[in-house]
A and B are shown apart, each in its own frame.
Chain A
Amino acid sequence: MKLEDILNENLSLEDKLKIIKQNSDVNVENLQSLDLETVNKIQNEIDNVLTLANEKKEEIEDKITDIKVSISTFNSNVSSYSSKEECKEAFKSINEKRKEQSKLEKDVSQYENISPIFSNMRRTLSDAIIDIKKMDLSKSIDNSNSIISNLQSKIENSKSKIQSYQEKVEKYTTYSKGWQEALDRLSFNINSAPLTDEEFNLVEKWSSKVFDYNDMIKDLKDEIIKEQNNIEQLENQLEKENDILSKNQKQQQKEEQIDQKNEKEINRFNELSSKDKLSKLELMEMKQIYDYINSNGQVKESEKEEMYDKFITSSLKSKDGHYTVDVDEKKPKPQREPAKISKSKSVIAKGKLATIRFMQSVFNKAKEIKNNISDKIIDINIKRQESKQNSKDEKIEKIQQEREKLESKIEQLKAKKSTYKDLVEEHLDEEDEYKHAM
């Protein structure tokens, strides 16, 4: 399934997680075919899924802890039970809990080690959004140009029609006038004598011409008005579209200028980073460029991360190969042998290269780069860990108290059992005596 399928509300959390894992290698090119709104929605949904997955993981882990605690307090000593049924039930109950633990451990595995996938995906989506926005702006400009061209063509067409109609109006007006003049001459003749049949026929014929031409002129004039109204509407649309085009072109120009500036800054940054040792000023310059690029919305996350790495490497290279704080350059630097590192005393863990890289990304996200260019101290709240541990300890203590209560009760029952046993034996002795007596 494709990544955008996670927007389907009918899918469960587990299904969405599967889709995300399946698409973990998605790159910016894959996403460019989607529209901006969809990519934004995917980004939000990714965050949502991660939050829910972590909550679910914690919930399951708590359940596993509870089960482990019960199992650890389970007393398998048969003599602690008052009957074989009770013993059997206890074992059965613990066995069920153990099965449940196995199932939960299997369930929780799907929620583990998912953070790198989500981090990478979030980064890829952010970068894709930058590309999509650029493409959308270009498309919008192309679209506006096409619309404008079309509108202009229609306006020209209407104007051409108007001209043609006007020429016809002129022509028909001339014709109409001509026939009107002929009729006027005939009407002059009526003053002197009645019209002959032939003359009357002419009147019918010529007047018909005059009225026909007048009708045609009227129709043409109506058409001219219609086309003029059409032109007005088209020109309004043209004006609006030109405004949109102008705005988008300005935006594109502005973005291109920023891109050019960014490229220049990045080139300078790379130039500095290629040096073996940097002066304080050069390092400051690097930092300033990094800060500028890091806050720039037109630069991709992948680029920013690469710059960060180079920045740290340069800051380390510029000192003596170890961490040092800024010292007053005027004071003579003390000659000191760098400490030699013992492998056996220093190795705290081993892992795959990919895992270590991921760990670096986790720490880097938490870091703030401040003016002294070294990595800042990360605060840890050990008390939170301790209090969590304390609450677990409290739980274990509570269960132990309950266990002590149960053990005490069992002792009481054993004592009672022993008493009853004595009573039964006594009774049996008495019975024997009685029988013997009988």
Chain B
Amino acid sequence: MKQKFEIELTDGSKTEATFITRIKPDDKDVEYIYYSINDDDDDSDNGKVSIFASKLVLEDGKEIIKNLDSEEERQDAYKVFSETYKKIRQENN
């Protein structure tokens, strides 16, 4: 399953991202978006990919993807993702 869109990295390069999901935890104001990007040096079908997390914010009525601000936010994004994923797996099974 591929849901592709373009993302621009801080080094100015643009790359193709594959959407995974977006999650807004109940008890937080932030909404995270998760997507994957192929590792530069491996394009094969079973190669490694990195899962990215960014946050979605509303600016002038539009939702924009923004960088996470801190290491703490990055850790939180990871925790939200893994706990949600685990819960859905349990519920689906």
Contacts and interface: CB of A to CB of B under 8 A. Distances in A.
10 contacts: A338-B64, A339-B64, A339-B66, A345-B70, A348-B81, A352-B49, A356-B49, A363-B21, A363-B88, A385-B83
A1 interface: no
Nearest to A118: B93
Contacts of A357: 1
B10 A340 contact: yes
Interface in A231-257: none
Nearest to A309: B1
A321 B78 contact: no
B2 A359 contact: no
B20 A312 contact: no
Contacts of A377: 22-24, 31
Nearest to B12: A340
A382 interface: yes
B67 A336 contact: no
A198 B36 CA distance: 121
Contacts of B74: 345-346, 348
A222 interface: no
A281 interface: no
A308 B2 CA distance: 10
A343 B9 contact: yes
Contacts of A50: 93
Contact of A317 (B5, B56, B90): B5
Interface string B26-38: 1100010110101
A316 B5 contact: yes
B10 A362 contact: no
A365 interface: yes
Contacts, number: 187
Interface pairs A-B: 8 shortest CB-CB: A363-B21, A312-B3, A348-B78, A346-B52, A349-B51, A316-B5, A380-B84, A377-B24
Contacts of B45: 353-354
B45 to A, nearest CB: 6
Interface residues of A, number: 56
Interface centre among B4, B22, B77 (most CB of A within 10 A): B22
B81 to A, nearest CB: 6
A334 B93 contact: no
Interface string A326-338: 0100000010101
B63 A313 contact: no
Contacts of A345: 67-71, 74
A51 B90 CA distance: 10
Contacts of A366: 88, 91-92
Interface of A: 50-51, 54, 115, 118, 305, 308-309, 312-313, 316-317, 321-325, 327, 334, 336, 338-343, 345-354, 356-357, 359-367, 375, 377-382, 384-385
Given A341-B9, A341-B10, A325 B61 contact: yes
B8 A341 contact: yes
Contacts of A322: 5, 63-65
Nearest to B42: A353
A338 B87 contact: no
B3 A316 contact: yes
A365 B26 contact: no
Contacts of A381: 26, 87
A382 B27 CA distance: 9
A127 B41 CA distance: 37
Given A308-B1, A353-B45, A377-B31, A51 B62 contact: no
Contacts of A380: 23, 25-26, 80, 83-84, 87
Given A346-B53, A365-B92, 19 more contacts: A51-B93, A118-B93, A313-B5, A334-B60, A343-B52, A345-B68, A345-B70, A346-B67, A346-B68, A347-B50, A349-B51, A350-B48, A357-B1, A359-B20, A360-B20, A375-B22, A378-B22, A379-B26, A385-B87
B92 to A, nearest CB: 6
B90 to A, nearest CB: 7
A50 B64 CA distance: 40
Nearest to B81: A348
Given A338-B65, A342-B9, A352 B89 contact: no
Contact of A339 (B3, B39, B60, B65): B65
A338 B61 CA distance: 15
Contact of B83 (A346, A361, A382): A382
A51 B31 CA distance: 32
A324 B63 contact: yes
Contacts of B70: 345
